[in-house]
Amino acid sequence: MTAGIPGSAGVPEGCTQDTLSAIYNDTESVQKLFDTFPDEIAAVIVEPVGANMGVVPPQQGFLQDLRAICTKYGTVLIFDEVITGFRLAFGGAQEYFGVDADLITYGKIIGAGMPVGAYGGKKEIMEQVSPLGPVYQAGTLSGNPIAMAAGLAQLSILKNHPKIYRSLNEMGSWFFGEIKKIAEESQIPATVNICGSLGSLFFTNETVRNYETAKTSDTAKYADYFRYMINHGIYLAPAQFEAMFLSAAHTRKELEDVLEFVRDYML
């Protein structure tokens, strides 16, 4: 997204021709693909909260619609919870929105800073993986002991301190809410999306609900804002289409300092 290219060099068309793209937050665009290929779609994969085109929360009912469509057509619903997993709630977006996926991918948070990726899901699917099933999946560093120990420590702390989620989400709603107020007051075209401890300030007047509308953002303006903030000691994500994340380590005082500079820039 940041580089503005839809694919990647080195990926043959034979691979991409098996992939269909639908529009985020647009159930109809998904249903249309199922109408065209009712028996051929193996899986639907989605970031339950878009966080790689800036933060784009699911609109009311969108994830439920995906669940219903996948159940109807016997298709596997995959949530990419690499960002939302153990962030929105201990049970990730599934718990936060009350929608169950069939498979879930994880990364980032589950390694507590160590390199980790993982997937999990329904027993009948996971039993397909070797040694129980015919799907062979392994890697030299799979289950690396240091990363597993770090991740286990991280997840144990989160499990034993469920209040972290309430305070993190409250902090997000306050902090990003303040940015939203500043954006509304500002003469600069800007819109703010918020989901728990995730937020984005988009430099556009459009409501950002999918990739198309995210793309209307003025990335040169974002770059200018980024430089202003970093010159004042605030290190934001270096691209318009990256998210802002709050951490349990952020204090209210630090966030108030950030808001001062956002105000100075925007007003």
- Between residues 158 and 243, which has the closer beta carbon with respect to ligand PLP? 243
Counting residues that bind ligand PLP (by CB under 6 A) gives 7
**Least CB distance to ligand PLP at residue 28 (A):** 24
Query: Site residues for ligand PLP, window 17-56 (CB under 6 A)?
Result: 47, 52
Nearer to ligand PLP by Cβ, of 121 and 189: the residue is 121
And the tokens for 254?
């630090």
Q: Are 54 and 217 in contact (CB under 8 A)?
A: yes
Closer of 93 and 182 to ligand PLP (Cβ):
93
Binding string, residues 176-215; x marks residues near ligand PLP by CB under 6 A: ----------------------------------------
Q: Tell the residue number behind the tokens 């034979």, with chain if given.
A: 14
Sign of CA dihedral 40, 95, 114, 193: positive
Question: Binders of ligand PLP among 78-137, rule CB under 6 A?
Answer: 80, 82-83, 107, 117
Q: Are 213 and 186 in contact (CB under 8 A)?
A: no
Q: Which residue is nearest to ligand PLP (CB)?
A: 107
Question: Which residues bind to ligand PLP, rule: CB under 6 A?
Answer: 47, 52, 80, 82-83, 107, 117
